[in-house]
């Protein structure tokens, strides 16, 4: 993270990658095993952070069409993984995630996924299909991470998330990871309801100085909010607005 993250092309937030790496470390400490997966691997910026958190015998699935911005993007990913000693941990899946069957990701013995990062086609209907795929592949303690939430570029994605959670009430957002800037947008972390408190409390302890003073309010619950610069707004009698650290 310190030496290579920003050198890899991509827009994913380094702060969010730190939070997700801590989440995978929590899983390891509690004996919650499984594979990792990413839809929209691109050149591997976020994928590498996930792969480094794997344990012996676990693997990462890098799902992408690998045709943008050119046909050599997959080759650059392979070369980067090899250079970091991660080639044996990562399976390259060249496919349209919207047409993948859950069995394609399960591997031999019906392996489950413990961390699934979704950063695919940013259309609501595509996100809905990707979330359905992830729901079908997850270990009981699995975490799904949704990229580019609350982005001004994709304002309708939140509707797809709300609809998916309404159809799958056993799942909940337990943490919102705030954006770093206009490009590195916010992420939602989801898990099954019975694990939400454990994950939320652990991340609140791990990032105590990054906890925002308010929580995210969803239809049925509230969620932890972590931010690189957590602050609230103070309203002055004269009508001006000042940020409060």
Per-residue pLDDT of the chain (245 residues; tens, 9 = 90+): 777 777 777 778 889 999 999 999 999 999 999 999 999 999 888 999 999 999 999 999 999 999 988 888 999 999 999 988 999 999 999 999 999 998 888 755 568 999 999 999 889 999 999 999 999 999 999 999 999 999 899 999 999 999 999 999 999 999 999 998 888 889 999 999 999 999 999 999 999 999 999 999 998 899 999 999 998 876 555 555 455 55
Q: What are phi and psi of 100, to 5 degrees?
A: -80, 140
Axis crossing angle, helix 193-206 with helix 14-29, rounded to the nearest 10: 120
Q: What was the pLDDT predicted at 181?
A: 85
Q: What was the pLDDT predicted at 235?
A: 55
* CA distances from residue 164 to 13, 80, 132, 200 in whole angstroms, order as listed: 24, 35, 8, 21
């Amino acid at each position: 993270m310190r030496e290579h993250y920003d050198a890899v092309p991509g827009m994913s937030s380094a702060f969010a990658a730190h939070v997700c790496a801590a989440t995978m470390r929590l899983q390891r400490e509690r004996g919650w095993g499984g594979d990792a997966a990413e839809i929209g691997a691109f050149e591997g910026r976020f994928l590498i952070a996930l792969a480094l958190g794997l344990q012996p015998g676990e693997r990462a699935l890098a799902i992408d069409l690998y045709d943008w911005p050119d046909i050599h993007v997959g080759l650059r990913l392979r070369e980067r993984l090899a250079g970091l000693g991660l080639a044996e941990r990562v399976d390259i899946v060249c496919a349209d995630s919207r047409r993948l069957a859950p069995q394609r990701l399960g591997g031999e013995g019906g392996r489950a996924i413990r961390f699934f990062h979704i950063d695919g086609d940013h259309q609501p209907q595509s996100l809905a299909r990707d979330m359905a795929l992830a729901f079908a592949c997850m270990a009981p303690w699995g975490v799904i991470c949704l990229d580019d939430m609350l982005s001004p570029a994709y304002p309708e994605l939140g509707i797809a998330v709300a609809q998916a959670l309404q159809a799958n009430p056993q799942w909940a957002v337990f943490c919102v990871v705030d954006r770093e800037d206009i490009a590195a947008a916010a992420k939602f972390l989801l898990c099954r309801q019975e694990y939400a408190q454990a994950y939320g409390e652990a991340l609140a302890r791990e990032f105590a100085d990054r906890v925002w003073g308010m929580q995210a309010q969803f239809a049925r619950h509230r969620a932890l909010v972590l931010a690189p610069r957590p602050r609230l707004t103070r309203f002055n009698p004269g009508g001006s607005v000042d940020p409060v650290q």
